[in-house]
Structure 1
């Protein structure tokens, strides 16, 4: 049976000894609250020893009473020592003491100079980018190595998983790709026709839309939509499996998690993104053709004839060559972020957001690098 809290006082020479015993928790401390308040104002020698070795159990309420008494006596100029604290009390009492400390008396960490903060932020971004690059190379290497090992085993490569991912990432994305691409093509054609009308050169909107769509817009819009749609799904799927320790279970049964989880998705993306790019190119040109017909009275026959004269095979392949590389970037970034997910739903949400942002950023940078490369080789 729990013992009620009690307080015993005595004087040893020039020091007052207050001995506390019993159970000091939320249910019992009200029994000694008046007595503790009396000790806060009682006359006592300059040195006070609070002996809590006799306390059986103590929670935050009991620790608060003891620290309140010590703080009151210290404020009166007395020297207070708390002795006999158990291991749990040695953790609990300092925490309560810090909470009782006035806000203005607590040490405030000085923020470093803003230049130092900027340099620190740049350093953190640089280190984080390098670590992400290494993780991406590990994912890519493990995917290729895992695929080779599975091919050697014959039955381990699962074509059904690859086709399932193609269906989800490729065929399932066709409606949104067609819708967005056709709208963007229509907008570019309308704005181009409006500006070129002042020069009597509306027919050149075909050249504008054809070259822009086939070299840049089609593949870039497709990659951005796939990054937002499929990249986030890959991060969420891999991350949720990591949270549920299914990735560790794959390791336990002797399978390569990267080869099992990432390989089908990367293969599906490399196949689906170029196909979606072709569809996006057609939808962009179709949207531009409709606007040119309605807004500028350019019939579809004239649009197609001018398109054949303004583009060649290099224009078409300039965009298609980018598609597999962008697909690899999206898959690798999404997989890396998925593998970094911790054990909370908050971590999953953060890494899904980070996956989409990083994938879109890297895809745009890669598109710019391809553009400079094409100019350098006159392609």
Structure 2
């Protein structure tokens, strides 16, 4: 017997259906996305929106990039998971290509960004004990205020965002928090117990905060001089977003360890990695760290295709060129509802006049006009379109922002 045809539910009905069954750890904009292509998404009613968030940079190559979809389909027909109990025929090639792209020696594959951060913390501590000679259980890691490295209990323990922290303690010790973009404070916090300095080259969740020129080079010099590791969290800023493969390249800095995620999975599967020097990642031995899904064949196939897209440098150049369009457009809006902005490549934090609304309210108005963005703290919104966006689409989105702020 054939089941009767069912009328598709609309956005309002689907949103109401989520309320009793989904934990309320998110407060999404009231749009229900059903399909997507490139820089555009379509909701269940057929309305189209320009995606100016790109999954917090997880969709650097746009929705359903043909090369990535083809790689996923091809691998789905062969092998998806073995666990690391066995070798698979895709992982070594992925690791070799990723190491070459990032100029590193060794790759530790994981799944999510938070897992990459947790793994980086473990590696840094193990290195401190085995190589630096820090006494057992006394290793410290210096981090920056207003950081965002993930949502696990270890990570929120060194967050300065009370919303992220409150109600989730007790927290793991061993972290020292200093102001971001303050080398003197960092110098004072580093001592003989310091395993690493862990920072974002650009603080995304904080509002795309870009440090002063020389800050990252200063961190590199300080950590080298004081004998600790520089761990750069490039989960949002990396893989083409800022006009370079890695954001640290803007100051020609080479960290000891780099944390990658989001765009590494092409918006298809969760893929993350810790990449770095052999003498650092080499401190791990069998049984000391692992992941059932980390390095699975499907993830490795998609990750390899992502690396191949970046190997030509075309996406990095595109982000740099369109970044000029973005900065010039935002500069033209300054004084027209925009009170300040920070931008690097195709990534910007835009401070809206609070008299015009909160970041959430501005995001809702833009949504009604067919542009999707995300607010962060206060009256700040973030812009991070796919690197496949066109200059015309970008200009159109900025025109929509002007309309929303001046109408």
TM norm structure 2? 0.19
Larger helix fraction of residues: 1
Which gives a bigger RCO, structure 1 or 2 (Cα 8 Å, sep 6+)? 2
TM norm structure 1? 0.20
Larger strand fraction of residues: 2
Over alpha carbons, which structure has the higher Rg? Answer: 1
